[in-house]
Amino acid sequence: MAEMKKAIEDFQEAMKMLSKNNPEVMRDFKKFMDSVLKEGYLDTKTKELIALGMAIAARCKYCIGIHVDKALKAGASKEEILEAATVAILMGGGPALTYIAEVKKALEEFG
């Protein structure tokens, strides 16, 4: 299995564990997450690009994989994803720059 897909699968398994232990909390969190990411004043693609930028700045490998995949599915191009990554690097500095390697892996797997 490809590295980013494995990371996402590991994350999903951990979320299932949390859901079994704290079903109400996780159900409410998922409802909140779905509500935030649905079309509104901003389209889904834009929201996914913002989420990707935040994931890079926060240095979250799992989030990077998830949001590259979702951004692509929402119609983002490789160029848009890389531009969003550049903005994240501006805001997150050198440590965020190192996570562009994770963006590359996700683009190779999902793109």
pLDDT of residue 66: 94
Residue type, 21: N
Task: Give the span between the Cα atoms of 103 and 89, in whole angstroms.
Answer: 12
DSSP class per residue in 10-49 = HHHHHHHHHHHHSHHHHHHHHHHHHHHHSSSSS-HHHHHH
Give how far Cα 95 sits from Cα of 46, 51, 72, 81, 105, Å: 24, 17, 24, 18, 17
Give how far Cα 50 sits from Cα of 5, 17, 21, Å: 21, 28, 30
- Kindly list the structural domains of the chain, giving each domain's residue range(s) and its CATH number in brackets, ordered by start: 3-110 (1.20.1290.10)
pTM as predicted: 0.86
Quote the distance between the C-alpha of residue 44 and its chain's center. 13
Quote the distance between the C-alpha of residue 10 and its chain's center. 14
pLDDT of residue 1: 67
8 close to 19: Cβ distance less than 8 angstroms: no
For the chain, which residues score pLDDT lower than 50? Answer: none
